[in-house]
Chains A and B, each alone.
Chain A
Amino acid sequence: MNTTLQDLGISSGDVILEISYLIAAVLFVFGLKLMSHPESAKKGNLWAGGGMVLAMITTLFLHRDADGSTIGMTNVVVIVIAIAVGSVLGAIIARRIKMTAMPQLVSFFNATGGAASALVALMEYSNPENTSALVTLLGLIIGTIAFSGSMIAYGKLDGKVGDIFAGWVKYFNVALLLIIAALTTYMLVVDLDPGMQTLLSYILLALALVYGVMFVMPIGGADMPVVISLLNALTGIAAAMAGFIYHNQAMILGGIFVGSAGAILTLLMTKAMNRSLLNVIVGAFGGGGAGIDKEHGSIKEITLSDAAVLLSYSQNVVIVPGYGLAVAQAQYACNDLVKLLEGKGVEVKFAIHPVAGRMPGHMNVLLAEADVPYTKLVEMDDINPDMPNTDVTIVIGANDVVNPAALDDPSSPIYGMPIINAHESKNIIVMKRGMGKGYAGIENFLFFNNKTRMLFGNAKDSIQALVSEIKEL
């Protein structure tokens, strides 16, 4: 005998809902897969977005709770209004923000996702029908950490929040994590009355908020892309936890998929820096390493006209961009320089360090904005063999990623991190605002190299002056 839908106690709507989730899940995966090629990336983004809209609409009209009732009309209106508010806000923020503020923006949207997960988990915890207390609490903790951590990352990238490098933060964080673990265990093992349950879940929320703040606070500089990617992964995992509560496969697949993708991206970056993830989280950058008192050359400046001549009569030039390029918004000026030099028959390439900038691939986006063809952007491992044959390397606002101390000074905090071997090229021009140390606070011996000439000033002004100087030659 055939089984009917009625035998299973479900309606055709339930089946359609599940099918729509399946389609959404496939669209997420395909979308992200398409996004791994420049040609198809835009289509991929659209597909993933389409999957999300589909799942939202079918959930709104077809979802039934345990009693079998669908979402009431008044609720639908409230939800649609909330979605409309979120959509308008999201679209405005995403459209208005300057491209240079992109890392902040990604962090901010990641924070909202974490907050949504935390809120859902918070409310589901007091729901007596929810049987997955462990998963709910994990979702609450992870979502909250992703939220407060991302907000701090946002503040740091926006220059609103400073760094705390104090040594006690390390111990404070470990202690806090232990307290969170202990409280969670207590809440799972002991039978609590509802009032107590609610109280403890709010305390847990508060602790996780503080942890998120303190976890990101000491991290800075070259570690920022790693932490942003990690927080991204956490948001995905928090969403998957909520999916577990609702037995919703689209949420689970989407969340875990994003979580593992984010985790891989994080590991790829820590690998590129030759450090462990633990080292990034616990052993914050800052201080240490060789002092300036060691024997070294002296700083030598270069005049604009000398730089112009040097560049014009070179055969090949490599530009190493860093965060300073982004701060000075010098990407357009930079592209002008490239075009000008190419007009003179100079071959120009960009050397992109995996952690240059403040988010993964930051330099790529920045230069793409200024219309630099992505074929000109060469990754570290591919460009390093060519460095000894390079006539001039221009370092623009980069510091730690070209610091030779990473190769030969075991006492340096960045020892072991692969760098772009700018010091191997025949000439080096370093554009820098002043003699301040890099974000990591480490002395850079490249600047004292005999082949190095410094061009002080705002990167954009320097490049523009250089462009007009070359034109006058």
Chain B
Amino acid sequence: MEDFLVYFYQNKETIFVIVLSIFLGVEVISNVPSVLHTPLMSGANAISGVIIIGGIILLGHTDLSSGISLNLILGIFAVIFGTLNVVGGFVVTDRMLDMFKKKKKK
């Protein structure tokens, strides 16, 4: 029990961010017309590519002096996958939204 209390206290800012982010997500998504569910999901999907930051940090501080290591390879894959998620996600969303935009001009 004490461990838990200590853990909570040490990470209280983070826990606040998490709880408030949950409400934020609910607030932003509620009342969205179903027309936009797909682009919205796709856009959210691209944002979950924020893991790329973790990949950069990890690969950034990987020791390269010892040549090619398993960590290096996995790190490179993490960054490539993360980028795929980010770039692919945003580009696809943009393409979807293009279709909605076309009709406005008419």
Complex CA distance for A60 and B58, rounded to whole angstroms? 11
Nearest-CB distance from A100 to chain B (Å)?
12
Pair A120/B51 contact, Cβ less than 8 Å: yes
Complex CA distance for A363 and B34, rounded to whole angstroms? 10
Pair A113/B81 contact, Cβ less than 8 Å: yes
Pair B54/A29 contact, Cβ less than 8 Å: no
| Proximity bits, A75-90, B CB within 8 Å = 1, else 0 | 1101100110111011
Complex CA distance for A36 and B92, rounded to whole angstroms? 17
Complex CA distance for A352 and B35, rounded to whole angstroms? 9
| Proximity bits, A385-400, B CB within 8 Å = 1, else 0 | 0000000000000000
Pair B87/A91 contact, Cβ less than 8 Å: yes
Pair B53/A250 contact, Cβ less than 8 Å: yes
Complex CA distance for A97 and B42, rounded to whole angstroms? 15
Grouping DSSP codes into helix (H, G, I), strand (E, B) and loop, the A interface class, with mixed when no group exceeds half, is helix
Pair B40/A232 contact, Cβ less than 8 Å: no
Pair A75/B62 contact, Cβ less than 8 Å: yes
Nearest-CB distance from B71 to chain A (Å)?
6
Number of interface residues of A (CB under 8 A): 110
Q: Which of B23, B62, B104 is packed against the most chain A CB atoms within 10 Å? A: B62
The residue from B24, B86, B88, B94 contacting A260, defined by CB atoms under 8 A apart: B24
Complex CA distance for A370 and B90, rounded to whole angstroms? 22
Pair B59/A253 contact, Cβ less than 8 Å: no
Pair A112/B90 contact, Cβ less than 8 Å: no
The residue from A105, A143, A253, A361 contacting B17, defined by CB atoms under 8 A apart: A253
Known: A113-B45, A255-B48. Contact between A120 and B54, CB under 8 A? yes
Complex CA distance for A254 and B50, rounded to whole angstroms? 7
Nearest-CB distance from A406 to chain B (Å)?
19
Known: A82-B59, A94-B87, A119-B78. Contact between A362 and B38, CB under 8 A? yes
Nearest-CB distance from A405 to chain B (Å)?
24
Q: Which residue of B lies closest to A370 (CB)?
A: B99
The residue from B24, B26, B86, B96 contacting A365, defined by CB atoms under 8 A apart: B96
**B residues near A124, Cβ cutoff 8 Å:** 58
Pair B54/A86 contact, Cβ less than 8 Å: no
The residue from B21, B38, B61, B106 contacting A360, defined by CB atoms under 8 A apart: B38
Known: A110-B85, A361-B37, A364-B35. Contact between A251 and B54, CB under 8 A? yes
| Proximity bits, A226-252, B CB within 8 Å = 1, else 0 | 001100100110111011111111111
Residues of B3-41 contacting chain A, CB below 8 A = 11, 14, 17-18, 21-26, 28-41
Q: Which residue of A lies closest to B92 (CB)?
A: A94
Number of interface residues of B (CB under 8 A): 80
Say yes or no: is A93 at the interface (Cβ < 8 Å to chain B).
Answer: yes
Pair B82/A228 contact, Cβ less than 8 Å: no
Say yes or no: is A161 at the interface (Cβ < 8 Å to chain B).
Answer: no
Say yes or no: is A181 at the interface (Cβ < 8 Å to chain B).
Answer: no
The residue from B39, B43, B58, B97 contacting A120, defined by CB atoms under 8 A apart: B58
Pair B88/A33 contact, Cβ less than 8 Å: no
Say yes or no: is A203 at the interface (Cβ < 8 Å to chain B).
Answer: no
The residue from A56, A75, A116, A362 contacting B81, defined by CB atoms under 8 A apart: A116
Complex CA distance for A49 and B72, rounded to whole angstroms? 27
Complex CA distance for A433 and B22, rounded to whole angstroms? 44
Known: A113-B45, A245-B54. Contact between A364 and B29, CB under 8 A? no
Nearest-CB distance from B106 to chain A (Å)?
8
> Which of the 9-residue segments A6-14, A216-224, A337-345, A372-380 touches chain B?
A372-380
Known: A36-B32, A49-B46. Contact between A242 and B54, CB under 8 A? yes
Complex CA distance for A430 and B40, rounded to whole angstroms? 31
**A residues near B49, Cβ cutoff 8 Å:** 52, 109, 113, 116, 239
Q: Which residue of B lies closest to A360 (CB)?
A: B37
Say yes or no: is A414 at the interface (Cβ < 8 Å to chain B).
Answer: no
The residue from B38, B60, B77, B103 contacting A364, defined by CB atoms under 8 A apart: B38
Known: A79-B59, A106-B92, A374-B100. Contact between A55 and B44, CB under 8 A? no
Known: A48-B90, A264-B26. Contact between A56 and B36, CB under 8 A? no
The residue from B33, B53, B85, B87 contacting A251, defined by CB atoms under 8 A apart: B53
Nearest-CB distance from A18 to chain B (Å)?
12
Nearest-CB distance from B68 to chain A (Å)?
11
> Which of the 9-residue segments A39-47, A301-309, A443-451, A455-463 touches chain B?
A39-47
Known: A36-B28, A248-B53, A252-B18. Contact between A82 and B60, CB under 8 A? no
Nearest-CB distance from B69 to chain A (Å)?
11
Q: Which residue of A lies closest to B71 (CB)?
A: A123
**B residues near A78, Cβ cutoff 8 Å:** 59, 64, 72, 76
Pair A29/B59 contact, Cβ less than 8 Å: no
**A residues near B41, Cβ cutoff 8 Å:** 106, 228-229, 232, 262, 265, 359-361
B residues neighboring A (CB under 8 Å):
11, 14, 17-18, 21-26, 28-62, 64, 71-72, 74-104, 106
Would you mind naming 15 contact pairs between A and B with Cβ atoms under 8 Å apart?
Answer: A32-B29, A36-B32, A44-B43, A60-B56, A75-B60, A76-B60, A87-B87, A109-B45, A120-B51, A239-B50, A248-B57, A250-B53, A258-B45, A261-B26, A374-B100
The 9 A-B residue pairs whose C-beta atoms are closest, nearest first, are A86-B83, A260-B25, A361-B37, A90-B87, A71-B60, A90-B88, A113-B85, A361-B38, A94-B91
